[in-house]
Amino acid sequence: MNGFGEPGPGEFSGYGSVYNVADLVGDIVAPGSFVNLPDFRRSGVILWTHDTARPVAVPLDVRDDGVGLFLRARLHDTPDGAMAGTILRERSAAGMMFGLSIGYSILKSHQEGKNRILDALYLHEVSLVALPANPWAGVRSIKLGPPDEPSAARTSRNDPALAEFVRMLEHDARRLGVAV
C-alpha cells in the first residue's frame, strides 16, 4: 500500500513538498514544519503556477504523513480547472509526472552547511507547476474521467513507471528513517 489513496473523479493526489530533500535553491523542508495545516484544510487553495488569479482546485485532504505534505484535491469546474485537468491527463497518458510546489512564509529556519533548513512554515497555497523546486514534489495519482472509466485512474497499482517512482520514494524515506 502506498498511502496515496485513490482519488475520485476529477481528483488528483500527491506531495506539495517532500521532507529532507534539498530543493533547487538548497532549501530543505523539515518534517512537521507546516504550522497551519488545520486552517489550510478548511480554506486552502490550489493554484496554477502560483498565480492567485488562477485557482484550479480545492484541497480535500492535506496532511503531514511523515514523507511530506500530502494532498488530495478536486479540480474546479472552471476553464482553468479544465485546462489543468487536460494537461494532467495528457502527461499521465504519456507516462510523465507533473509537479506541485508550495507558497509559504518562513517562520523559523537555520543553516546547515550550504542548506537552509525550513523548521516552521506558514502554508499559503499549493500550485500545479511544470518544474517544481523540490524534485520529489508532484502529482502521484489522478482520476480525471467519469467514475465508470477505470482507465482514467493512474495509480502505482496499475502504472509500472509510477510504481517504480513510488518504490524509489519509499526507499529514500526508509533510508532517512521515515515510516512509510
Mean pLDDT confidence for 114-127: 97
pTM attached to this predicted model: 0.77
C-alpha–C-alpha distance, residues 170 and 10, integer Å:
26
The mean pLDDT of the chain is 82
Residue 13 has pLDDT above 50, yes or no: yes
pLDDT band of 144, cuts 50, 70, 90: low
Residue 94 and residue 19 in contact, taking contact as beta carbons nearer than 8 Å: no
| 80-92 pLDDT per residue, tens | 998 998 898 888 8
| 14-54 pLDDT per residue, tens | 999 999 999 999 999 999 999 999 999 999 999 999 999 99
C-alpha–C-alpha distance, residues 1 and 32, integer Å:
22
For 160, the 3-state DSSP assignment is helix
Residue 7 has pLDDT above 70, yes or no: no
Domain borders along the chain are 11-175
Grid cell digits, residue 144:
480525471
pLDDT band of 120, cuts 50, 70, 90: very high
pLDDT band of 4, cuts 50, 70, 90: very low
For 139, the 3-state DSSP assignment is strand
List, in order, residues 6 or more apart from 62 with CB less than 8 Å away: 16, 37, 40, 41, 44, 69, 70, 71, 72, 126
